[in-house]
A and B are shown apart, each in its own frame.
Chain A
């Protein structure tokens, strides 16, 4: 059975996930993948509050991502 996919923004603080895909315009997709958010990449949700953006850790870097973009990143939770 395929695992349930969700938006990056739905992850809780401290949860780890794997990127499934990135959607959005050409520029945004390019930028996100350039920063290392390619499909299959593991990441950790470091900080999330009522206010945007979210902070994640990916490939040894800390990234801040605006909510609009984060909502377009499809992920699954890593157990």
Chain B
């Protein structure tokens, strides 16, 4: 008997899957990516009844088609890796829609347990569910669960172990309409001995649906079968009078609807607090007012907290300087080591005070259900830049810090949209850039000019995202989004998730930040900075009209953009910038700083999300673009 079991958690988005995952695995988890894909893979282990259980949290999806990467990853995992048990988490308050997915999971023919979650809300909203009956219909164990309280989680594991112990048994087949079953049978027969890892019935159904992935796979083995499938599909298309993907969806929903009719009684329809909150937060006037106040509050809180905390960290660190010099002396080697430490500190003072809180708050808002209302409110506006409502959230975060914004772009469904959203967020001036703009333009020229820079940036975002929208291949997707009822977010799950997600990012970001900081120190120590300044002269002085020493300031800004300002002061020899820069130079310098390169932490986030090549492309493009725009601005302003 083996005492190692693998369990996969599958289910719709926002059904409490991650809460169950956290209840199961505690701190033994790892959040990373599926190999070669930017789809999140959360994995954890637990020990229960003498078993070591590996738990995989599959992404939240609505179907096993190939609409998104997440769906493809999930079905490939279940079919090919064959987890011992699949726990299908479903939201008991929207049983019908959830069962639609359950039926598809059953087609993958793995042993399955159903976690009927949110049983507390079921009672509150006046619904009663006959669990025994539901079990009979589906042919798999159904466990009532209240994930947030931990109720039923133990039973889930017990049931899973029981199933795994029994050894593999094909679950009950859910039958669809007769004409369709006939065609499925025919196709299963024609598949003969072909082995793709997927169950034959599943392949047959997917052929009828016209699934591109499956078609491609079969085509390479026996193109005849694809033709048989086409014929069958045409036949039922004719009979039903609807397009291919619709027919099987219809059938499944019919089965789901029948089950709900048999097992669920809707006693009363009560107006819940969630309904009222929904009404207000989505309202044409109140909704926007609430959104604006929340955004202001969010930024206010995070900046105050961030500044406070970051100052403490930096002070602590600066306090170490004399001690450090005592030990290592003031030589070249000491300076280089100091560079490494500075990089480390730069990383810590970005991640702990800013990125982590941003991430936690984003997680809380998402978990509560508010983000989908924000997407609803901002959809119209976001369409103007070629994206849909969901993209507003990362864009807004971008004003705080580009890193969580980039990582937050995962809420976009398709790769194409993710890429556009990520590209756009790197152009948003983050808090550090705001420091530069306010510290230079705001202080010495006036707030109007500072604001004007933001307007120019918005225009650039608008134009560039329109271009990206046109240039990138693929079908643009519009908003099709479920708005789940509001619920109280589960803080522990959110905080843990935020931490484990950031951990993965730290591995990429820290070496980069440290290396960068070290290199800048090397430039400093070897007196190379002067030669670099003169190397950059054609760009900085001739094209941008900036003073010579601004070159090194721009390079210093790569690890953290506010360092441009500090370096400007140290190399210019004064903090009174009016003495070393003309107003036009200040504007050009701020403009270039705003656009020229995503900071090193953002580049790390880009690498994590879209890979080296695209990250490099965006970085190079933005450097060239910033120089171009800066030069134009210089010429326009000096006419």
Contacts and interface: CB of A to CB of B under 8 A. Distances in A.
B475 A25 contact: yes
Interface string A26-43: 111111111110111100
Contact of B480 (A49, A62, A69): A69
A47 interface: yes
Contacts of A29: 243, 245-246
Which of A26, A34, A65 gathers the greatest number of chain B CB atoms within 10 Å? A34
B96 interface: yes
A26 B481 contact: no
Contacts, number: 120
A69 to B, nearest CB: 5
A66 B478 contact: yes
A59 B94 contact: yes
Interface in B258-310: 278, 282, 284
A52 B250 contact: no
Interface in A32-79: 32-36, 38-41, 47, 49, 51-53, 55, 59-69
B631 interface: no
Nearest to A57: B483
Interface string B229-245: 00000000000001101
B97 interface: yes
B207 to A, nearest CB: 14
B383 A52 contact: yes
B284 A34 contact: no
Contacts of B482: 35, 61-64
Contacts of A40: 250
A63 B245 contact: no
Nearest to B481: A64
A5 to B, nearest CB: 14
Contacts of A7: none
Contact of A21 (B63, B242, B389, B475): B242
Nearest to A32: B480
A33 B250 contact: yes
22 contacts: A21-B243, A22-B246, A28-B475, A29-B243, A29-B245, A30-B65, A30-B249, A33-B249, A34-B65, A35-B482, A36-B97, A36-B253, A38-B246, A39-B246, A51-B379, A60-B94, A60-B95, A60-B97, A61-B483, A64-B376, A64-B481, A65-B480
Interface of A: 21-22, 25-36, 38-41, 47, 49, 51-53, 55, 59-69
Interface of B: 62-63, 65, 67, 93-97, 100, 210, 242-243, 245-246, 249-250, 253, 278, 282, 284, 372, 375-376, 379-380, 383, 388-389, 475, 477-484
7 tightest A-B CB contacts, nearest first: A66-B478, A33-B249, A34-B63, A66-B479, A51-B380, A62-B483, A30-B245
Given A28-B475, A59-B96, A69-B478, 19 more contacts: A21-B243, A26-B210, A26-B245, A29-B243, A30-B67, A31-B63, A32-B480, A33-B249, A33-B250, A34-B100, A39-B246, A39-B250, A52-B383, A59-B253, A64-B375, A64-B389, A64-B481, A66-B388, A66-B389
